[in-house]
Amino acid sequence: MNKTKIFIICFFAPFIVCSQSNYQNNNEDKSFELSKNLEIFSAVYRTLHTTYVDDIQSGDLVKTAIDAMLAKLDPYTNFFPEADMEDVKMQLLGQYGGIGALIHQKGDRVYISEPFEGLPAYEAGLKAGDEIIEVNGMNAKGKNSNQVTEVLRGQAGSDISIKIEREGKTMEVKFKRREIKFPNVPYYGVVRNNIGYIKLNEFTQEAGNHVAEAFRSLKSKDNISGLIIDLRGNGGGLLNEAVNIVNIFVEKGQPIVSTKGKLKERDQNFKTQMPPLDVNIPVVVLVDNYSASASEIVAGSLQDLDRAVIMGQRTFGKGLVQNVIPLLYNTQMKVTVSKYYIPSGRCIQAIDYSHRNIEGKAEKMPDSLRTAFKTKGGRTVYDGLGIEPDVSIESKWAPDIAIAIITKYLSFDYATEFVKKHPKIASAKDFTITDEIYNDFLNFIKDKDYSYKTDTERRLEDLRKEAEQEKFDKSTLEAIEHLQQRVKDDKADDLTKFKDDIKNILLSEIVVRYYNQKGRIESLLPYDKEVNQAIDLLLNAEAYKKILKP
């Protein structure tokens, strides 16, 4: 060993020893802080339990304390007491024990909104529009929808008795609850010009297999030339299912996502494990502001690998990974343990929960701190703030009158009456809302309340109040009032101006009564602007390839 090597070793040795000593001291300090604060919490709780003037509900008090503590972290780290295990199963597995139907509340009454095909409520003959009178002896009148839901859910295999009122007649239906599992893929089919379409609602168990089965069917039966994967509104789910879906379109052994957290030994790299089904078919992935987590892994990795065109709106930006950890007494915690990184090396987490402003609110990453990365083919992409689409489409917001018609259940009630008069309709693909049906709907709502305020009306009202407080003269106030009247008069024509939007609402409500969820999706596809734009791109091979070039 020469002198230089001896010097280097001797020079760095004290620093290595010092570093190890600092590391050990740091760990000891953290352990002491943990023990000290646990003892303080225990002492506070024992003191309250033994000396507080009123009786304390121990479980509620501790749950409140835990929730307040977790509120300082991110919204995905949650504690679940034993009583919430059904909710945990629904969140993580997309399944629960129940009857398989949506319900809604209108006034002091609760109604069946939609029984899902093939599930207990549907098979027992319950229909949309049935009023729930009683569940297992509990009077449902005056109860809210959450209270009724709690009674409808229960252990799979347990008996349930529901009294309903339909067309003025009361009837009782008895059946058994089942394990309810919603389909990952509620619909797939050919839209037009041999373009396939797969709607993926969530990433629960077997999502990858379900998408693969749908894709195989579209290729073998319909010989599709392009594919649309619809991830709009998909809030994510299991990370491994996202990898399995990407695997359908990219080669085996391709790195898709890696996770990095505090415990380095738990960091993971996920690669495609199986031979792909098709590495050449053109693919468009539709996303929106509500596409999150596993949806962003699929969209982001296919973008990073230049394997698909991403279309729609910027995604939510959730790059955090949670693990479910069992605790004592059948309680559980869902804990954020790491961040995920897609093939280009970027993390798409939008909000930094470790740093908050003076009001205690976590904020989105500013554009100035975003870092540029490169896709496999050399295109520039950025971290933070979700996945930015290759083709941006401005989101279309529902007009106020459409929202009023939905939230006041006027379209729902009209569909209930429509079904009574029309035992059959054309197929989901062929049925349309004719002007005759639309005029019938207008006649149906003419004596009903569908009042609503537009954003313009609310702003003018605020403006008038401010003008009064600031003592503007009479002519100014009169001008504002005149403008308010003009807006009110213009709003009277909304049923005509937004006729197409309202027709689509009616189409959705009516078709689902005859052809269930699949029929609803199929009937609305021809009117979906983003789907049609995706089809046009897939039919234009030159434009498609140009987007994927650097």
Assign residue 254 the CATH number of its domain: 3.90.226.10
Residue 226 pLDDT level (bands cut at 50, 70, 90): very high
Tokens describing residue 200: 């993926």
Contact predicate 548/377, CB 8 Å = yes
Instruction: Judge if 175 and 215 occupy the same domain.
Output: no
Sign for the CA dihedral angle at 86, 90, 94, 96 comes to positive
Sequence-distant (6+) residues with CB within 8 A of 291 are 231, 232, 233, 234, 235, 299, 312, 315, 316, 387
Express as a percent the part of the chain with pLDDT over 70.
Answer: 93
- What value, to the nearest 5°, has the Cα angle with vertex 46 and ends 45 and 51? 105
- Clarify whether residues 370 and 411 are in a common domain: no
- Structural domain includes residue 344: yes
318 catalytic? Reply is yes
CA distances (Å), 126 to each of 57, 112, 141, in order? 40, 8, 18
Q: Is 359 found in the same domain as 221? A: yes
The residue from 145, 258, 293, 338 that is catalytic is: 293
Residue 152 has pLDDT above 80, yes or no: yes
Domain count, the chain: 4
d(CA 543, CA 284): 12
Domain span at 172: 95-181
Active-site residue flag, 293: yes
In this prediction, residue 398 carries a pLDDT of 87
Residues 299 and 381: beta-carbon distance below 8 Å: no
Domain membership of residue 86 (yes or no) is no
In a domain, 343, yes or no: yes
According to DSSP, the β-strands at 362-364 and 351-356 are antiparallel
According to DSSP, residue 322 is labeled: E
Q: What percent of the chain has pLDDT over 90?
A: 62
What's the number of CA atoms in the CB half-sphere (13 Å) around residue 6?
3
Q: Would 404 be classed as within a structural domain? A: yes
Q: How many whole angstroms separate alpha carbon 431 and alpha carbon 423?
A: 14
Alpha-carbon distances, residue 153 vs 82, 117, 130, 157 (angstroms) = 15, 18, 18, 11
On whether both 231 and 373 belong to a single domain, the answer is: yes
Encoding tokens for residue 352? 């930094």
- pLDDT for residue 411: 97
Assign residue 265 a region: left if phi > 0, alpha if psi is -120 to 50, beta otherwise? Answer: alpha
Does residue 83 have a pLDDT over 50? yes
The rounded distance, in Å, linking the Cα atoms of 189 and 428 is 13
Residue 379 within a domain? yes
Last residue of a domain, one of 118, 150, 181: 181
Neighbours of 227 (CB within 10 A): 25
User: For 63-67, 240-244, 352-356, 507-511, which range has the lowest pLDDT when averaged over its residues?
Assistant: 352-356
- If asked whether residues 363 and 442 sit together in one domain, one would say no
In a domain, 51, yes or no: yes
Q: Are residues 362 and 218 in the same domain?
A: yes
Q: Whose CA is closest to 508, among 529, 498, 522, 494?
A: 522
- Per-residue pLDDT averaged across 41-63, rounded? 86
Q: Pick from 395, 415, 449: which residue ends a domain? A: 395
8 A C-beta contact, residue 118 and residue 181: no
Q: Which of 74, 230, 304, 383 is catalytic?
A: 304
Q: Domain ends where: 395, 415, 433?
A: 395
pLDDT tens track for 279-326: 999 999 999 999 999 999 999 999 999 999 999 999 999 999 888 888
Does pLDDT of 95 surpass 80? no
298 and 311 share one domain:
yes
Residues 346 and 264 in one domain: yes
Place of tokens 């003076």: 358
430 and 305 in a single domain? The answer is no
Sign of the Cα pseudo-torsion (174, 175, 179, 180, in order): negative
Per the listing, tokens 């990219």 go with 250
Asked if 260 contacts 278 with a C-beta cutoff of 8 angstroms, the reply is no
> Which residues are 132's β-sheet partners?
110, 164
Whether residue 167 is contained in a domain is answered as: yes
Residue 378 backbone dihedrals phi, psi, to 5 degrees: 105, 5
pLDDT at 9 over 80: no
Give the model's pLDDT for residue 1. 46
| Annotated catalytic residue within 199, 318, 334, 518 | 318
Question: Does residue 352 register a pLDDT over 50?
Answer: yes
Residue 225, pLDDT above cutoff 70: yes
Q: Do residues 208 and 347 share a domain?
A: yes
Whether residue 308 sits in one domain with residue 200: yes
In the prediction, which pLDDT does 16 show?
A: 41
* Tokens coding 500: 């197409």
Average pLDDT, the chain: 89
One domain, residues 479 and 447: yes
Please say if 29 is a catalytic residue. no
* 218 inside domain: yes
- Could you tell me how far CA 204 lies from the centroid of its own chain? 13
Query: d(Cα 229, Cα 201) in Å, to the nearest integer?
Result: 11
